[in-house]
Amino acid sequence: MDELKEEKIDQHTEELEVESEEKRRGKEIEVDEDQLPSRAMAIHEHIRQDGEKELERDAMALLWSAIAAGLSMSASFLAKGIFHVQFEGIPGGMVLENLGYTFGFIIVIMARQQLFTENTVTAVLPIMQSPTWGNFGLLMRLWSVVLLGNIIGTGVAAWAFEYMPIFDEATRDAFVKIGTGVMENSPVEMFSNAIISGWIVATMVWMFPAAGSAKIVVIILMTWLIALADTTHIVVGTVEILYLVFNGTIHWSEFFWPFAIPTLAGNICGGTFIFALLSHAQIRNDMSNKRKAEIKAREQARQEEAEEDKKSA
C-alpha cells in the first residue's frame, strides 16, 4: 500500500514538471552573473527558476496561500481608509493616505504568499523559454487557482469589514468613498490603468534579485507609485468593489463589469504581454550566443580528443 502511494506521488510530481532546456540536458543553468553573458540574463534566470517552482507547486498549497494573500491584501484597503480619515484636510494628506496602499503588498510579498499579479511575470518566463502546451497548461492552472484564492480571500475580508462591528462610521464612509472612486472609471479607463499597475508590479518583481536587504523599500516605493497614479489592481480593487457590493451601494454584476474583467485583462497585458515579453526579448540573443559557445566548445573538445586518440594509436 505504501509503495502504491509513493508511486502515485511520483506520477503526480512528473505530471507537474515544467519542460525546460536544462531538464532535457540534465544540467541546471548557472545563476551566477559571472558565468552568464550579461547581468540581465542572470536576473532573468533567477526569476525564471522561481517561476518553475511556482508552476510545479501542489494546487491546494497554491489555493490556501492565495486565500491568505487575498486576506492580507485587505490591509491596503484598511490602511488607506484609516489614513483617509486621519489625514483628511491636511496639506499633502492624499500622499500620506496612499502610503496605506503599500501595507497589503508588504505583507503578501514578504510572507511569500501567492499574489496573482506577481505570478504574471515569474510564471510566464519558463513558458517563454519553452513554449510547450504542457507548460502553458501549468500556467493556466497556476493563474486560475491563485486568482480564485485571491478573490475568495478578498471577498471574506470585504464581508468582514462591512458586517462585523469593527469600524466607526467615518472609516466606513472612507471605504465607500475609495470604492466609488474606482467605479468612476469607464471600462476602457479600468483596462488602461490596470496596464500601468501590471507593468509596475512586474518591474518590482524584476528588481527583487538585485534589491537584497532593500527589498521592502522597493515594495513600498513601487506600490506607493501605483496608488499615487490612481491605477487599478485586480486584487486590491476586488476588496474595494466587493465592499460596495456587500454595502448595497452597487449590484453584483458591476463587480464583473466595468471592474473585474477590464482590470484583469489590463494587469495581464501590462505584466505579461508587455513587460515579460520585453524582458525575455532582451536576453534571447545572450541565451542564443551562450548555447552557440557551448556547442562550439564541445565540438572543439571532441576534435582535441580525437586527435589525441590518433596520436596514441
Residue 245 structural domain: 37-275
Query: How crowded is residue 140: how many other Cβ atoms within 10 Å of its Cβ?
Result: 10
Which one-letter DSSP state was computed for residue 30? Answer: P
Whether residue 82 is contained in a domain is answered as yes
Tally of domains in the chain = 1
What is the residue type of 127?
A: I
Do the beta carbons of residue 83 and residue 43 sit within 8 Å? no
Whether residue 23 is contained in a domain is answered as no
pLDDT at residue number 20: 58
The CATH number of residue 250's host domain is 1.20.1080.10
Strands (DSSP E) found in the chain: none
Query: How crowded is residue 105: how many other Cβ atoms within 10 Å of its Cβ?
Result: 29
What is the residue type of 306?
A: A
CA 277 to CA 281: how far, in whole Å? Answer: 6
Whether residue 225 is contained in a domain is answered as yes
CA 90 to CA 273: how far, in whole Å? Answer: 40
Whether residue 282 is contained in a domain is answered as no
| Terminal-to-terminal C-alpha distance of the chain | 57
Whether residue 187 is contained in a domain is answered as yes
Do the beta carbons of residue 96 and residue 177 sit within 8 Å? no
**Greatest extent of the chain over all pairs of C-alpha atoms, in Å:** 94
CA 148 to CA 136: how far, in whole Å? Answer: 18
Whether residue 22 is contained in a domain is answered as no
CA 257 to CA 188: how far, in whole Å? Answer: 11
Whether residue 1 is contained in a domain is answered as no
Query: How crowded is residue 13: how many other Cβ atoms within 10 Å of its Cβ?
Result: 11
Full-model pTM: 0.80
Whether residue 204 is contained in a domain is answered as yes
Grid cell in block for residue 284: 534571447
Grid cell in block for residue 41: 540574463
Task: Output phi, psi for 175, to 5 deg.
Answer: -60, -45
Helices and strands in the chain: count of H runs, count of E runs: 16, 0
Residues in the chain: 313
Which one-letter DSSP state was computed for residue 1? Answer: -
Do the beta carbons of residue 113 and residue 69 sit within 8 Å? yes
CA 113 to CA 68: how far, in whole Å? Answer: 7
Report how far Cα 232 is from the mean position of its chain's Cα atoms. 15
Task: Walk along the chain (313 residues) and give the pLDDT tens digit of each residue.
Answer: 444 444 444 444 445 676 655 555 555 555 555 555 556 666 777 777 888 888 888 899 999 999 999 999 999 999 999 999 999 888 888 899 999 999 999 999 999 899 998 776 788 888 877 778 888 889 899 999 999 999 999 999 999 999 999 999 999 999 999 999 999 999 999 999 999 999 999 889 888 888 888 999 999 999 999 999 999 999 999 999 999 999 999 999 999 999 999 999 999 988 877 666 776 666 665 555 555 455 555 666 666 676 666 666 5
Do the beta carbons of residue 267 and residue 117 sit within 8 Å? yes
